Amino acid sequence: MAFTLNAYPVVYRAKYAAGAWTEEYLEKPHKTPAEEAALSERERRELEASRNVYADMPLVSYTSQYGLSVFEGLKALPQKDGSLAVFRPDRNAERFHNSMRGLRMPPFPKDAFVAACVETVRRNAELGFVTRYKTEWEKDSYMNADSVYIRPFTYSEGGIGVGLSKEPWVVVVCTPVSAYFVPGLSGAITSKRIRATANGTGWIKAASNYVVSAIAKQEAAEAGYMECVFLDAAERKYVEEGSSCNIFFSLKSGELVTPELGDTILPGITRASIIELARERGVAVSERKIGIEEALDETKECFVSGTAAGATPIESLTHDGKKAVFNGGTTGELTASIRDTLKGIQYGALRDTKGWMVKVR
């Protein structure tokens, strides 16, 4: 299933005007989950489309014309004990706040962000739209488990000249999501494209950043790879990140390296969580520059990290016609153990000693 636009009916919306945010929850057209499951493909698509219409929002806006929008992506996960919880929404709240400030919008309060994410999921769960925990997910370390993808984003007021948004909306929609990366197709290739430059918006989760990412990812897919890897713009030498994920290299020396943050890399919440988990188990983690040659020659295991990716092994990396295969093309021990710990915490199979999970219900 991966990502779908089959959004759940309850949507949160806040609007900034006259110095204050006004909040509301909208209940878009829906039937019961059982009735919706029984619809024909065409009926389901029509219902889905009707949920994605907002007659009172302007078509011509700084968002639709110039890509002036920031967004977030986080998950609510069914817990082994039957409850439902969101993974580290406070961190997404913080990044959303920073992103909005980065594009010079009035920032959305962090506590309102967390409350909106939790409450939107809760209201959809009340209507029966959220999958329950299944024990069978444990068999393959939750690789095929379902969850709720939460997508908060900004949308600008109407505007046609190049300009900034002074009175944005913040919208939170939720969709069902399952495995994003296809197992068995996990090679990566460097892209000739440039995603971000110094003094640009690479560190912001800005909609406009994803235009180059989408092109580069499509080019990688056409060449038979799952993911593209961006190099730095200045020297075309250092590894930065993937199209929608950060990247880790476990070197033969034992060092676990991930590119250091700066203004060209998105500070991933999964990245930060993995660094913490790896350090706790005594792995020497470095956040530093890593050249593509070093990555190709010295890597034992490689994986990408993100809300959608979790910790997904990368079986090979290709650059300029040179292909390095990692760990014989199979999932390495460190990658598997980090993935299992992360998923275990996220699905409530392991104890959440860090307070990362925020209960929905």
Residues that bind ligand PMP (CB under 6 A): 73, 241, 244-246, 266, 268-271, 305-307
Name the residue among 344, 262, 343 with its Cα closest to residue 309.
343
Taking the least distance from each CB to ligand PMP, the nearer of 10 and 188 is 188
- If the CB atoms of residues 63 and 270 are measured against ligand PMP, the closer one turns out to be 270
Burial class (CB in 10 A: 0-12, 13-18, 19+), 321: exposed
CB closer to ligand PMP out of 105 and 247:
247
Pairing state of beta strands 316-319 and 322-325?
Answer: antiparallel
**DSSP H helices in the chain:** 33-37, 41-51, 62-66, 89-102, 110-126, 209-222, 269-280, 292-298, 333-346
Sequence-separated (6 or more) residues with CB below 8 Å from residue 23: 12, 13, 14, 112, 116
Closest CB to ligand PMP among residues 269, 345:
269
Least gap, CB of 35 to ligand PMP (angstroms):
33
Shortest spacing between CB 111 and ligand PMP, in angstroms: 19
Q: What is the CA radius of gyration of the chain?
A: 20
> Nearer to ligand PMP by C-beta: 251 or 342?
342
Edge-to-edge strand list for the sheet holding 187-190: 239-242, 227-231, 187-190, 316-319, 322-325
Q: How far apart are CA 177 and CA 150, in angstroms?
A: 10
Q: How far is the CB of 263 from ligand PMP (least distance, A)?
A: 13
C-beta closer to ligand PMP: residue 305 or 341: 305
Distance in Å, CB of 351 to ligand PMP, minimum = 22
Pick 79 or 305: Cβ nearer ligand PMP: 305
Q: How far is the CB of 360 from ligand PMP (least distance, A)?
A: 19
The number of CA neighbours under 13 Å toward the Cβ of 269 is: 20
Least gap, CB of 194 to ligand PMP (angstroms): 13
- The least distance separating ligand PMP from the CB of residue 227, rounded to whole angstroms, comes to 11
How far are the Cα atoms of 3, 14, 15, 31 from residue 48, in angstroms, in the given order? 14, 22, 24, 11
The DSSP bridge partners found for residue 150 are 74, 174
Minimum distance from CB of 237 to ligand PMP (Å)?
19
Between 123 and 205, whose beta carbon lies closer to ligand PMP?
205
Between 13 and 88, CB nearer to ligand PMP: 88
Kindly state the smallest distance separating residue 304's Cβ from ligand PMP, in Å.
8
Please, what is the angle between helix 333-346 and helix 269-280, to 10°? 110
CA-closest candidate to residue 334, choices 289, 278, 262: 278
In this structure, how many other beta carbons lie within 10 angstroms of the beta carbon of residue 358?
16
Q: For residues 3 and 176, what is the distance between their CA atoms, to the nearest angstrom? A: 7
Number of helical H runs and strand E runs in the chain: 9, 17
N- to C-terminal Cα separation, the chain = 25
Q: How far is the CB of 215 from ligand PMP (least distance, A)?
A: 14
Q: Which is nearer to ligand PMP, 251 or 309 (CB)?
A: 309
